[in-house]
Chains A and B, each alone.
Chain A
């Protein structure tokens, strides 16, 4: 049996990663959308709800490097599929929660398995993309995070309206199971992929580091390199902006700008759309700068620097004269932040080998979540 070869297969791989990211973020954002209803059904306090949210955040923060290490050890095809199965089942289990304690337990389980997503995506891009195109791939992959978050409210509210909240958790979880099957069926490393063309394999392999790196990935060795800290420190410093945008924009617009709930709903998603655009733009900016003579690493650093300068705009939000100017400045902030974020994630794939990048990126992510 001959298998049909597909040209530019790497872009299909990044589409598959992006789809997985959308489903991952759809699942993790389901809880927030259903929170008001769950709070009423289970009669838990805001503090108890914060424990539920905290269980996810703590598990996720701690597990990113662990998931990355497991992925580096067992390989992407099996490893990412298994983590997707675990996060899907954890999400579906939310439907059986009987109170805030069981909800927190399932939430923790979701956090520790979903932590695999970003390190896995970065590793797949490190395996499949020549350095020049890597940032573009990371930009599109990164867009999946906000897309999942934007899709969550209509999908989850729709299902819980027509069926019930339990069905919403089961549905967003089940999507992950379907995706895990797709991943296991279609993902291979470039050299093992059944549908790759000879041309593409040559293109990818021409760009591989020639050094054979020790097969065993050492977290201690990663943490002791200056290049790790050169990436982790900016990540730690950048993440607070995103946390603030994610959790405080609606509250800020309501309390400081006197906007009503309806206008907030109409405008509060705009910074996240701008954020997706910023990530994709940052991805394309790097090869553009390289064509103008910048080397690979300086082209990424330039992207971070431009993003940091743009962040001055939302930094001045306190002086904005009206709510719409404030929203516009938030849009600049979202755009700039995701530009920085994509460049930093790309850098982790640049300076670490494909064999160790999931672990390294997991540690970088851990630094970010600690800071945020």
Chain B
């Protein structure tokens, strides 16, 4: 999807000073944290059948 707010603003501010490399690395780190959150919280993901 196109759009979005926080990171789009951040990249606009940081791309010139930090360079793109660290920003792209951040994206991978975010996704890995997201996956870890999902794994840790997996037991909370109950199906409506058992609700």
- Give A residues with C-beta under 8 Å from B: 28-29, 32, 56-57, 60-61, 118, 131, 145, 149, 209-211, 213, 226-227, 229-231, 233-244, 246-248, 252, 256, 296-298, 301, 304-305, 307-309, 311-312, 314-319, 333, 336-337, 340, 347, 350-353, 365, 368-372
B19 nearest CB across to chain A (Å): 7
SS of A interface (majority):
helix
Chain A residue numbers with a CB within 8 Å of B23 are: 244
Other-chain residue from B4, B11, B37, B49 in contact with A57 (beta carbon distance below 8 A): B4
Known A247-B8, A307-B31, A336-B31; 20 more pairs at CB < 8 Å: A57-B3, A209-B49, A229-B41, A230-B42, A233-B37, A239-B1, A239-B7, A241-B27, A243-B4, A244-B7, A296-B47, A301-B35, A301-B45, A311-B31, A315-B25, A316-B24, A317-B24, A351-B46, A368-B4, A371-B5
A240 nearest CB across to chain B (Å): 3
Other-chain residue from B2, B4, B47, B49 in contact with A371 (beta carbon distance below 8 A): B4
What separation, in Å, do the CA atoms of A314 and B27 have in the docked complex?
Answer: 8
Residues A311 and B32 in contact in the complex (CB < 8 Å), given A57-B5, A248-B11: yes
CB-based contact A230/B29 at 8 Å: no
Chain A residue numbers with a CB within 8 Å of B22 are: 318
A-B contact pairs, 23 of them (CB 8 A): A32-B2, A57-B3, A209-B49, A211-B49, A227-B45, A230-B38, A230-B45, A231-B45, A233-B34, A237-B30, A237-B31, A238-B31, A240-B27, A244-B8, A252-B20, A297-B45, A308-B28, A340-B31, A350-B45, A351-B45, A369-B4, A371-B4, A372-B3
Closest to A237 in B: B34
